Amino acid sequence: MGLVLADDLLGRGLQRIQGEIDQAFDAILQVSEDGRQRLLMAMRHAAIGGGKRVRPLLLVTTAEMYGAARPAAVRAACAIEAIHVYSLVHDDLPCMDDDAMRHGRPTVHKAFDEATAVLAGDALHALAFELLTDPATSSDPFVRSELVRCLAIASGAGGMAGGQMMDIAAEGADFDVRAVTRLQQLKTGALLGAAVEMGAILARVPEEGRAHLRAYARDIGLAFQIADDLLDHEGNEAKAGKALRKDADKGKATFVSLMGPEKAREQARALSEQAIGHLQGHGREADLLRALARFVVEREN
């Protein structure tokens, strides 16, 4: 499969999932007229019309690969995206990263206010688990419960939130590549891994049949983060739609600061190839996951 074809496949895949996620959030987040308008409007601002939707694409593609129905997978994908989006809203707060722009638009606390941003993040967090336990996501309560369990573990103290705490602790600390790897495996890797795992849960792939998917997710997670560091180092703020070089300014250890840009790029590409290697038991139905593994290291934002 040529790179052009892969890009085309991926482009169509991303465009389709972006439309589906926007449409689903638009239907779910209906603005009420009872003093909660501001909350719902802030949730919509955060959740609709921005972001690459990489986690939803991973989840839906994996679920479909194993025969799950797409509408149910899109619902579960909204749940993991709600978690990702809430983490961005809280991460952008003045007491955290203090970012004014996200996806080329004002962040939630800039467009609204800080209290609303805290609450909108909290409400998106709860929404994720409400969506997963809706019988429309799966008629099997075991599947619903396992989806919740996977997402809760990946986003809590042992996953994303724990990684964010390590990230704050990393400022000025003496981190090596191993420590940064561990941090990123929690901060971004856990949720990317959960996306693939949730797709497999939805399609009832047994636990022991998911090892290669977990390995794939682990590799693209790290590749994704190294590419992020490279974009931050060399990138273009207009394309990124957010402020860059903030890590370097804070003296925070990153893959690029520790390995240098050439070695980092080499490592990201090697991880991407390694990720694709984990899919060798699959045929054409895994092409989108292969294309995504290439995309995460070649993307420009």
- Cβ-proximal residues to 175 (8 Å cutoff; 6+ apart), any chain: 183, 253, 258
Shortest Cβ distance from residue 160 to a second copy (Å)?
8
The number of helix segments (H) and strand segments (E) in the chain equals 16, 2
106 bridge partner residues: 101
> In terms of CB distance, is 159 or 221 closer to a second copy?
159
How many other C-beta atoms can be found within 10 angstroms of the C-beta atom of residue 245?
12
Closest CB to a second copy among residues 40, 244: 40
Give the single-character DSSP code of 158.
Answer: T
The distance of closest approach from Cβ of residue 129 to a second copy in the complex, given in angstroms and rounded to an integer, is 4
For residues 33 and 262, which CB has a smaller minimum distance to a second copy in the complex? 33
Give residues in contact with a second copy (CB under 8 A): 34-36, 38-40, 43, 86-87, 90, 93, 95-96, 113-116, 118-119, 121-123, 125-130, 132-134, 140-142, 144-146, 148-149, 151-153, 155-157, 159, 161-162, 164-166, 168-170, 173, 179, 182-183
C-alpha–C-alpha distance, residues 275 and 293, integer Å:
7
Produce one character per residue of 207-243: b if its CB has 16 or more CB atoms within 10 Å, e if not: eeebeebebbbbbbbbbbbbbbbbbbbebeeeebebe
φ/ψ of 105, rounded to 5, equals -130, 165
Least distance (Å) between residue 149 CB and a second copy: 4
* Residue closer to a second copy (CB basis): 2 or 35: 35
Shortest Cβ distance from residue 8 to a second copy (Å)? Answer: 38
- CB of residue 63 to a second copy, shortest distance in Å: 18
Q: Which is nearer to a second copy, 149 or 246 (CB)?
A: 149
